[in-house]
Structure 1
Amino acid sequence: MASLHLAVLLLLAFTASSSASWCVCKDGNEASLQKALDYACGAGADCNPIKQTGPCYNPNTVRAHCNYAVNSYFQKKGQAPLACDFAGAATVSASDPSTTGCSYPASAR
């Protein structure tokens, strides 16, 4: 019986630690990435960190800013899979896209 409890606890610990996900922009043309970025920022994403004075402004590329914006939107929507589509411009990832000085949220905070 004790081994069953241990197995259940290990399974729960593994499940909890592997549930983090982020939304990132796919490689694509800048116009589609800019459209996803604009939509996310206009629909509730916290885009302050990618403003010129923000900690996630650099690298100053459409793709980097798109990544931050779509992820913020995705997190605010409770990580709903459809909240990370952006007309096919984005996808869910299990890899944390954070960089030095720029932390991507992994929850709605």
Structure 2
Amino acid sequence: MAFARLIVRVGRHVGDRLGRDLFSTPALDMMLDLYLRDEHRPISLTSLCGATNVPGRTALFTINRLVECGLLTRYPDPRDGRRVNVDLSAAGLRLLDECIEELISLIDQCGS
């Protein structure tokens, strides 16, 4: 989890320094936001859109693409049928776990 938090911090730093309008990764931002939640708890579609620094339509387009690719799941909120929840799929969680492990390995190789 610590490394995932570092990825988020690095992304924010790059966006702050170089401009979020040029350097944004909404799909990664959304997936990491879900990944870092306690026990990967699902959140509302609206809340996930707010996790990025992109317009709402772009955020919804990105979520739809992630769902189509099998990386996120979207389903009605069991307590409030008007809301839609979003969570990482098993494939999305596995992909992030693998990616983080690979990044850690690359960093370890640089130190060798």
Q: Which structure has the greater CA radius of gyration?
A: 1
Name the structure with the higher helix share: 2
The verdict on a shared fold, with TM-score over 0.5 as the criterion, is: no
Q: TM-score, normalised by structure 1?
A: 0.33
- Greater relative contact order (Cα 8 A, min sep 6): structure 1 or 2? 1
Q: TM-score, normalised by structure 2?
A: 0.33
